[in-house]
Amino acid sequence: MLQSKRKETLKIYRVLFNEITKKGIEQAFEKPGTIDLNRVDAQQARRILDRLVGYKISPLLWDKVRRGLSAGRVQTVALRLVVEREQEIKAFEKKEYWTIDARLRALSAPQFVARLARKDGASIEIGDEKSSNTIIEAVRESDWVIDSVSSRERKRNPVAPFITSTLQQESARRVRFSVKRTMMLAQRLYEGIELGREGAVGLITYMRTDSVRVSDAAITECRGFIQEQYGSAYLPQKPNLYRTNKKAQDAHEAIRPTSVKHTPDLLKKYLSEDELKVYTLIWNRFVASQMMPALFDQTSIEINVEGRDKSSYLFRVSGSAPKFDGFRRIYEEGKDQKDQEDVDLKTKLPVVVKGEKLTLKQFLPQQHFTEPPPRFTEATLVKELEARGVGRPSTYAAILSTIQDREYVKKTRGRFIPTELGTIVTQLLLEAFDDIFDVAYTAKLEEELDEIEDGNRSWRESIGAFYDKFSKDLENAAKTMTDMKRLERPTDLKCDKCDRSMVIRWGRHGSFIACSGYPDCTNTRELTVDLPDVDSSDLSKMEGETDYCPNCGRPMALKRGRFGMFHACTGYPDCKTTRQVGEQERKADVPLDEKCPQCGSQMMRKTGRFGEFTACGNYPDCRFIKQETIGLACPRAGCEGEILQRRSKRGKIFYGCTRYPDCDFTSWAKPIDMKCPECGNPYMEAKTLKSGSFLQCPNGECKHKMAAVEEAS
């Protein structure tokens, strides 16, 4: 009975803090709250939805495609966006158009270039060179007179402090970090960094947030810092306030430094290079958000030209000149691509007046073609997901990592390209679950979850309504979904071993050609795709090599295989000669005056796909390859090995000990035989960035840097 009474009087509180600092945690405990059961229900509903989709659909993919695959309520929608963008690109038909620029000279310098904008008051489209030349001839001998000059002051306001998604996007644009890496580095900054006598200090507020709200105390501190460091000209009369999206949860503040006094310059010696890059972004963005707008003087000039064809042509040019840098003194937001503002800032205009006559110096007609939509980068895919209301900012890092880990997409030059596997999985899932993986439907589910959190909807009703439809789709998919493992598509090819028909099958590594007589005949062939738009003359221009097979004299054809583009003899299967795109004639093996330590044969200097190497001349009977050391003893205490240069499976160079696996010393950077002058570490590492080459101590507590010297390299 006594125990029951104690349970009745027991009260449980929820403490919410935004930063791991002494002040932040003390303030949180001063105002404890209660557990919000609506939020608990919303989280529970989200977890059930995700597990229903993942746990029920993933086994279907294991059975129909291959084991190890997965589907997800948001993950598959993200993949669908990538696949559909690729389909748009492939279906895109480019269209020719022309622009006409005119280089002009006014009474004062400099010369400038104006572009044709309108004809007879309407927008103009120039479809081909003939139309372009017709217009040029119509205005070549005309008078070029300034019709109007307008100048105005343009203001650009600072942007709000980071939320999770904008931090991920800006980090991808500015410092080329993946979403996953950005969040990992932000986590470290949030949890705390040792700052000498200060001890461990949480440097930023919580990094999983969708609110741009900032506490009054943080704003006050920031405004004081701006006044002190930059002067009153950079400080607005009132704090800059930003509006949070109405769909945001607003549980935490925006991502900001816990104290603006911890400037990036002061923290250089405590943070790693990558941590400093992310912290600098966060610090600069937050301080800039409380500064004055940037001001520009913008001038627009319009030139009216009466053509010989009795038409009126309007040429236009605009330029901007910075007047006051404002927040741009410390921060400039990154862009996915250049815009008109970038062009205007580079355009220098003379001082002119209305009615002034100009001298035509040169016409600059230019041919263009419309371009397909660009493939997604991590930044633009996160931006698209957020704009469509799909998923939560806190889940984007995991989603982007998963679709890469599952080999649904690959990243080439920072942009996502769907693999054959990703395309097939998307097609199968959309055929069976078109509504669940519909972008609009997924966004609607997010709205329902928000309604549950606000207490306006029952989580049981939402889950029940979802499952009624989902269970029927699941049952139907198990019966009707295409079985890729057992699917055979006929071809016109004949097996060169048993003369049966060849078929296209699906395997662990994608599509391939196999004999229909399997298992009696196990003959297989790599599936290639001929590219009819690339002929032999193009190949000759591309590579500077013969476009005929060196073995049988037949033409070589450009094909696409599982591992990329290659050339193959058109005489296949009689002739099976192939070569990689861009592959040059291999150098002849050079005999060396040394013997193989394993079989006694002569060693040879050979050339492989990654360059020259020394190996036994008795290959393939003897596969000995000489390991090339860099002349440095292994720095690991007690190890008698030497450091040699190795290559990973993907061809990336790294350095390791000759006594591996007894000694597991490895380094991605080249070790240099030089003691660290700061901490005495037995070696330094040579590194190269865009800013130049330097040496750095690998000791995480030191990180001493110094200029690279020729002897060290």
Known catalytic residues are: 206
CA atoms within 13 A on the CB side of 615: 15
Measured CA to CA in angstroms, residue 608 lies from 53, 411, 583, 588, 624 at distances of 47, 26, 11, 11, 15
Nearest to 309, CA basis, from 475, 467, 137, 510? 137
Query: Which residues, listed in sequence order, are joined to residue 155 by a DSSP beta bridge?
Result: 295
Nearest to 163, CA basis, from 209, 214, 219, 202? 209
SS3 category, 201: strand
The answer to whether 526 touches 562, Cβ cutoff 8 Å, is yes
Q: Return all residues near 546 (Cβ < 8 A) that are at least 6 apart.
A: 540
Q: What sign does the dihedral 665-666-669-672 (CA atoms) show? A: positive
CB atoms within 10 A of CB 260: 19
The answer to whether 254 touches 205, Cβ cutoff 8 Å, is yes
Both tokens of 675, joined, read 């003691």
Q: Which helix (H) or strand (E) holds 37?
A: helix 37-64
Q: What sign does the dihedral 632-637-639-645 (CA atoms) show? A: negative
CB atoms within 10 A of CB 40: 13
What DSSP string describes 427-453?
Answer: HHHHHH-TTTT-HHHHHHHHHHHHHHH
- Give the Cα separation of 488 and 482 in Å (integer): 11
Nearest to 685, CA basis, from 648, 661, 713? 713
Both tokens of 583, joined, read 């592959």
Both tokens of 495, joined, read 């097996």
- Cβ neighbourhood burial of 534 (10 Å; 0-12, 13-18, 19+): middle
SS3 category, 414: coil
- Give the Cα separation of 257 and 261 in Å (integer): 9
DSSP E strands, 23-143? 96-105, 112-119, 122-123
For the chain, give the number of residues. Answer: 713
DSSP E strands, 11-163? 96-105, 112-119, 122-123, 144-156
CB atoms within 10 A of CB 533: 7
